[in-house]
């Protein structure tokens, strides 16, 4: 595929943050040439809603484990904020296995204040909400 195959105005695949987004879909036509279409983000919300519902259900399950001291608030807020372990690990700059260790209450209690502040920033909560587990934060 060359740059002539795609018009320059079709290369822009997203608008400013929090505005409707679109991405370019490349397809091969009957003559074997690439054609492009733009699909809006709104068209794919149907797939996002079930994921969000499932994530909130998982957050409720984890909340009960946190209250029984079987998991840490990090796992709860991860699901509450619609993240998965891979995305949260990337945001924190740690390996997934290390992140999952932070789900263990004993390991969570040993985390330093700086690490907790990083988590709190990602989850948009206060550090005290993590330490004292305020799920309504």
Contact 63, 76 (CB under 8 A): yes
> Residue 137 falls within a domain, yes or no?
no
Dihedral angle, C-alpha 91, 96, 98, 99, nearest 10 °: 50
Reported as a single tens digit per residue, the pLDDT across 91-110 is 999 999 999 999 999 999 99
Q: Do residue 120 and residue 67 come from a single domain?
A: yes
> Residue 136 falls within a domain, yes or no?
no
SS3 category, 79: helix
Q: Per the confidence metrics, is the pTM higher than 0.75?
A: no
Q: Do residue 79 and residue 125 come from a single domain?
A: yes
Q: Do residue 25 and residue 70 come from a single domain?
A: no
Give, in order, the Cα–Cα distances in Å from 132 to each of 23, 72, 106, 129.
41, 10, 14, 5
Q: Do residue 61 and residue 125 come from a single domain?
A: yes
Residue 73 pLDDT more than 70?
yes
Q: Do residue 117 and residue 98 come from a single domain?
A: yes
Q: Which domain holds residue 37?
A: 3-44
């Amino acid at each position: 595929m060359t740059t002539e195959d795609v018009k320059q105005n079709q290369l822009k695949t997203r608008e400013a943050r929090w505005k409707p987004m679109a991405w370019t879909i490349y397809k091969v036509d009957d003559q074997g040439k690439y054609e492009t279409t733009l699909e809006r983000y709104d068209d794919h919300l149907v797939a996002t809603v079930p994921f969000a519902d499932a994530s909130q259900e998982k957050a409720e399950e984890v909340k009960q484990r946190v209250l029984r001291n079987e998991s840490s608030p990090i796992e709860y807020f991860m699901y509450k904020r619609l993240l998965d372990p891979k995305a949260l690990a990337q945001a924190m700059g740690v390996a997934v296995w290390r992140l999952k260790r932070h789900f263990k209450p004993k390991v969570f209690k040993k985390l330093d204040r700086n690490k907790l502040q990083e988590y709190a920033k990602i989850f948009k909560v206060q550090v005290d909400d993590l330490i004292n587990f305020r799920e309504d934060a």
